[in-house]
Structure 1
Amino acid sequence: MGVNVAPGFFAPQETPAAPLPPWQRAPEQLSATRGVEPLDPAAPLPLPGKLAAQLDAALKPDGGGNFTAVVQDALSGDVLYERDGGKNRVPASNMKLLTAVAALRSIGPETRFSTQVLAGAKPSIVVLRGGGDVLLAAGRSAPEEVMGRAGLATLAADTIAALAKQGVKGPLSVQLDDSLFTGPALNPAWSLEDVDAGETAPLFPLAMNGGRDVPGTVGGPRPKDAALDAAQAFTARLKAAGAAAGITVRTAVVRAKAHADAEVLAAVESATVRQQVDLMLETSDNYLAEVLGRMASLASGGAGSNDGATAAVRTQLGQLGIDTVSMRLSDVSGLSLANRVTTRQFAEVVRAITSGPDTRLRAALAGFPVAGLTGTLDDRYVDASTASGAGLVRAKTGTLNSVIALSGYVVDADGRLLVFSFIGNGLTPGAAGNKVALDRAASALASCGCR
């Protein structure tokens, strides 16, 4: 009996896992089906004084630095709270909100990017031309996906089918046309340490997996030549597809520009710009943001370069009536420390997305991460001081070494839609309390019945 009982006293005891917060648990039963009612324009506005008392208590840096902030009523545009809202700040990845607006306005939410195979100068040559899709899959197209909607295996099979109809036998050579983008592939304003860490990589108008070797990977080195990697993957699949049709394919790939009037042999289409913008915002994808910025420039007649991208962002915001004179735009992903944007400008951008007259911008709403649930906010809003914002706050995050930002929207306890932007600069690197400060401020907006 002692032998049987003893392990109960002396065996290591496992620490029970912390229970999931209620909003992250699977529901025990389905809720009754009901429609979502529109917001009531007569819902009361928060009183600025009471709102300020809550936000001033929350927006305190953990160590050095300071926060700037703006809160607006989305419907009227009334400023309900402001702390140095006109002061230029390093915004980190909140820059992607500006890029989203530029892409949706200049390219269009339902536009897709085409990756094509064109006939070369000789029947034995085909040209793989990039059209801006950097979410290509190596395998077959997956029409229901965003990452990998267009697949190189499908493109290769369709190319072989077209060549077989023309009686081409090979040996076939593949050329790569990635001339859509111009200027430096790497922005000189980016830290090489960030590049080495995989925060971004040299930019090309075609790439697999968002410019990564493996889809869904976070961090770590990225391909140095994503376009050539995609072309080599395409060639391997072309060779496999050609073997069954009696068409031989050489493995070497060289760069060459396709003729303007070249015949299109096959093509695959990307996910829509709407879907790509949502993916960019939810995951804060730097590579995709920079590509969308260049595509926005090209769509409006500019160059497919970094300068073209920043100019396109500035132009599109200006056309919305947002003052851009003070802005300093060094990139469109937010990696550069040379960017300067105010919280007032970000609040106006979020207001344009939620409530402005250009309804194309509503396409970005689904991409804002949801507090405690999705994207870059999925592991936040889990303690008692921020729980009131979980599932309610939707906001774009931003983080650099001494920078933190949060800009988004929330419906308060009285049913009023509020837009906000909070940015901290000069902060103590790694200080955990700064994220919590922003989350507490946003949670205060969600629970506010500040009347």
Structure 2
Amino acid sequence: MKTCLAAALLALSPCVLNAGPLDNKIGEMAAAPGIKNAVWGLSVKDAATGKVILERDPRRNLVPASILKVFVTAAALDKLGPERSFSTRLYYDGAISNGFLNGNIYIKGGGDPSLGSQLVKGAAPLDEVFGAWAAAIKKAGINVINGAVVGDESAFESVQPGSWAWEDIGNYYAAQPSALTVNDGLYKLYLKPSEKEGGEAAVLRTEPYIDGLKFENHMKTGPAGSGDNGYIFAFPGQYQAVLRGSIPRGSPEFAIKGALPDPALFAAQSFSYYLAKAGVNSNKKAFKGALPPGSGGVLLAETASAPLKNVVRVTNKRSFNLYAELLLRQLGLQRGSGTPDAGLAAVRAYLAENGADVSELDLEDACGLSSRDTVKAENFTDILRAVSKKKYYAEFAESLVYPGDPDATGHVRAMGKGTGLEKNLRLKSGSLNGVRSYTGYLKTKKGRTLVFTSIINGYSTAPAVIDKMHETLLLALYAGD
């Protein structure tokens, strides 16, 4: 099997590119074991002219996985602007008398992905944000709250798509897209591996601490070097989670990442605890709710997010699902409703405005986690070609991964490293079970810019083989202009 695939890859190498049409070589690759029964959509065009350079079933409807994020990030840059920021506001209602607030403090989320983020450049640490809010409360003459701190996420509909897999819900990459998101919507769960393979891993702690969160632990210890194969099973709002899978043997502790059970409640509780330490106590427990309309809420403080371009950068480089879903709702909000349906309508309209065929487009989310998303490879190529002519192209291209990119995560970080692709390739990749996808820009040896997309569904060979196949294809395109 490996010999057959190696021969197909060799046929694509730049040194023999002129021996026959590249289309024939693609056909050889498609016939290789582990790929021959898969469905492959491929589209390569000249960015300047739109001329087709290479294609294979470019209009086949396929599951795209995480390359879907380029749609929402491009649309956000276009409709909102690279420098756009989002505000989180702190209000109080009721009256202040002799240092006592007879009312509540409200944290009204504005859908800022970067609030307290450890990933976004320019985002203030959560303690720094809380410190500024606490100072504003004290400046208003509030020393005691005869009420509670309330987390208000009412700007958005925060429910996850029903087509997301049950084994994903509860893990950080399927976090709720709340309008009041802090700490990147996640927590770290630290476990102690057993000294022997197959033994139970012990729960140590979470960071940050989450009030009331309990675990039913079935986590096992896998072989040394086996990596994170652990899963956290929990519905949104559920504080009894089930742990399954394995973590590697050989370290004193190992962390996996979970989704905050209730982001807005967590934000309210965290700020309430911070205030208590700062000497401002609340008489009631923090809760999730909304500032009542017409209540005469008084603005205490406003915190602006990092620029949108910084959020887009993390969304694409780290393939961060939560940010994609928050941007989707921001696009919906621009149309009057912070719902995923309104956001998807905005994305569809943006694609159509820029020349993509949306007649058969079927989107369930913005991040590509749903296996019910179906898109044509040519849709991506056409949109990236359109973006290459936009004023925000530099910010968009900067958000894509390049070979050896230190800010990137995932399986393509090393693709093309040490080759001619190193300074000439920008791409976004995607992966689900049986799905591998790639889209981006390639500057050829002669200086021409190509736009490319490749989506493979249903392959059975090793994922690393698919990555290597695409590296070889991109090298052939780079050298064969």
TM over 0.5: yes
Q: Give the whole-Å Cα distance in 2 for the aligned partners of 1:279 and 1:62.
A: 36
Q: Show the counterpart of 1:180.
A: 155
Q: Which residue of 2 aligns with 1:208?
A: 182
Pairwise CA distance, 1:431 = 4.3
Match of 1:381 among 398, 401, 416: 416
Cα separation, 2, equivalents of 1:402 and 1:390: 27
Q: In 1, Cα distance between the equivalents of 2:166 and 2:43?
A: 33
Structure 1 unpaired stretches of 5+: 1-45
Contact 1:232 1:251 in 2 (8 A): no
Mark the CA change 1:47 to 1:250 in structure 2 (over 3 Å): closer, same or farther: farther
Farther off after superposition, 316-325 or 290-299: 316-325
Partners of 1:319 and 1:152 in 2: how far apart? 39
Q: Percent identity?
A: 28
Give 1:269's aligned residue: 304
1:12-411 equivalences in 2 (<5 Å): 50-53=21-24, 55-56=26-27, 63=34, 64-123=37-96, 124=101, 125-137=104-116, 146=120, 149-171=123-145, 173-182=148-157, 185-214=159-188, 220-241=257-278, 243=279, 247-250=280-283, 252-259=285-292, 262-301=297-336, 303-354=337-388, 356=389, 358-374=390-406, 375=408, 376=410, 377-381=412-416, 387-411=419-443
Deviation at 1:208, TM superposition (A): 2.3
Q: Distance in 1 between matches of 2:429 and 2:33?
A: 18
CA contact (8 A) 1:93 1:335 kept: yes
Q: Retained in 1: the 8 A contact 2:313–2:400?
A: yes
Structure 1 residues 136 and 76, CA gap change in structure 2 (3 angstroms): same
Structure-2 separation of matches of 1:414 and 1:448: 9
Aligned residues: 388
2-structure distance, mates of 1:280, 1:290: 10
Q: Which string of whole-angstrom CA distances, capped at 9 and with x for unpartnered residues, describes residues 289-329 of structure 1?
A: 1111111111232x222212211110111222322111111
Displacement, 1:240? 2.5
- Aligned residues of 2:175 and 2:186 also touching (Cα < 8 A): no
- Tell me the distance in 1 between the aligned counterparts of 2:400 and 2:368: 16
CA contact (8 A) 1:389 1:447 kept: no
Q: CA deviation at 1:334?
A: 0.3
Residue 427 of structure 1, CA deviation: 1.2
- Residue 154 of structure 1: SS of its match in structure 2? helix
Cα distance in 1 between the residues matched to 2:256 and 2:368: 17
Q: Compare 420-429 and 89-98 and name the one that shifted more.
A: 420-429
- Displacement of 1:166: 3.1
Would the aligned equivalents of 2:129 and 2:303 in 1 still touch at CA under 8 Å?
yes
Describe the shift of the 1:53–1:392 C-alpha distance in structure 2 as closer, same or farther (beyond 3 A). Answer: farther
Distance change >3 Å, CA 196–CA 95, structure 1 → 2: same
1:7 alignment partner in structure 2: none
- 1:425-444 map, 5 Å: 425-428=457-460, 430-444=462-476
SS in 2 for 1:443: helix
CA–CA distance in 1 between the matches of 2:73 and 2:185? 19
**What is the rounded CA distance, in whole Å, between the counterparts of 1:364 and 1:328 in structure 2?**
24
Partner of 1:29: none
Task: Determine which structure has the larger strand proportion and give its number.
Answer: 2
CA distance in 1, matches of 2:421, 2:139: 60
Q: Name the CA shift for 1:155/1:373 in 2 (closer, same or farther; >3 Å).
A: closer
| Alignment TM-score, normalising by the size of structure 1 | 0.79
Q: Judge conservation of contact 1:397–1:406 (CA < 8 Å) in 2.
A: yes
Aligned AA (1:146): V
Q: In 2, distance between residues paired with 1:81 and 1:259?
A: 58
Matches of 1:309 and 1:271 in 2, distance apart?
A: 21
For 1:70 and 1:360, how far apart are their aligned partners in 2? 23
Displacement of 1:122 in angstroms is: 4.1
TM-score, with structure 2 as normaliser: 0.74
Q: Which AA in structure 2 matches 1:177?
A: D
Paired residues of 2:116 and 2:129 also in contact (CA < 8 A):
no
Which residue does the alignment assign to 2:235? none
Q: Which residue does the alignment assign to 1:3?
A: none
Structure 1's 49 and 122: CA in aligned 2 closer, same or farther, altered over 3 A?
Answer: farther
Is the partner of 2:40 in helix, strand or coil? strand
How far does residue 222 in structure 1 lie from its aligned partner after superposition? 1.7
Question: What displacement does 1:256 show?
Answer: 2.5
Output the aligned Cα RMSD: 2.8
**1:56-111 deviations in Å (ceiling 9; x for gaps):** 55556651313211110001111111111111111001110111122112222111
Q: Which moved more, 1:54-63 or 1:284-293?
A: 54-63
Tell me by how many angstroms 1:54 deviates.
5.3
Report the more deviating stretch, 440-449 or 407-416.
Answer: 440-449
Q: Deviation per CA, 1:259-302, whole angstroms, max 9, x where unpaired?
A: 4553220122211111101110000011111111111111232x
| Letter of the structure 1 residue corresponding to residue 401 of structure 2 | P
Unaligned runs of 5+ in 2: 1-16, 189-206, 208-227, 229-254
Contact 1:127–1:174 under 8 Å retained in 2: yes
Determine the structure 1 residue equivalent to 2:241.
none
Code of the aligned partner of 2:166: L
Task: Name the residue aligned to 2:13.
Answer: none
Judging changes above 3 Å, is the alpha-carbon distance between structure 1 residues 429 and 129 closer, same or farther for their aligned structure 2 residues?
A: farther
Q: Cα gap change, 1:110/1:185 in structure 2, threshold over 3 Å: closer, same or farther?
A: same
- Does structure 2 conserve the Cα–Cα contact (< 8 Å) formed by 1:370 and 1:390? yes
Give the whole-Å Cα distance in 1 for the aligned partners of 2:392 and 2:424.
23
